């Protein structure tokens, strides 16, 4: 992630990704696939939060 980004938004998206693991089936599958590729927990969550950001932006 860039250092010049909005830290509050980055934190909110990170927690959205974390909380979606137990509530959204595709998010859990995406996270598990990232972990199976050997990604660390924080990197897998960051990838999931990027997915959520793309979805939110598309809907907006």
Instruction: Report the distance separating Cα 53 and Cα 41, nearest Å.
Output: 18
Residue 3 has pLDDT above 80, yes or no: no
* Domain assignment of residue 47, yes or no: yes
How many structural domains are present in the chain? 1
Q: What is the pLDDT of residues 17-31, one digit of tens each?
A: 999 999 999 999 999
pLDDT band (50, 70, 90) for residue 35: very high
pLDDT band (50, 70, 90) for residue 2: low
* Domain assignment of residue 55, yes or no: yes
* Domain assignment of residue 54, yes or no: yes
DSSP code per residue over 17-41 = HHHHTTT-HHHHHHHHHHHHTT--H
Q: What is the pLDDT of residues 41-55, one digit of tens each?
A: 999 999 999 999 999
pLDDT band (50, 70, 90) for residue 40: very high
Q: What residues make up the domain containing 40?
A: 25-60
* Domain assignment of residue 11, yes or no: no
């Amino acid at each position: 992630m860039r250092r010049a980004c909005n830290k509050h938004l980055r934190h909110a998206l990170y927690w959205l990704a974390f909380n979606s693991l137990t509530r959204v089936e595709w998010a859990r599958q995406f996270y598990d696939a990232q972990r199976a590729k050997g990604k660390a927990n924080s990197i897998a969550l960051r990838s999931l939060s990027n997915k959520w950001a793309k979805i939110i932006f598309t809907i907006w």
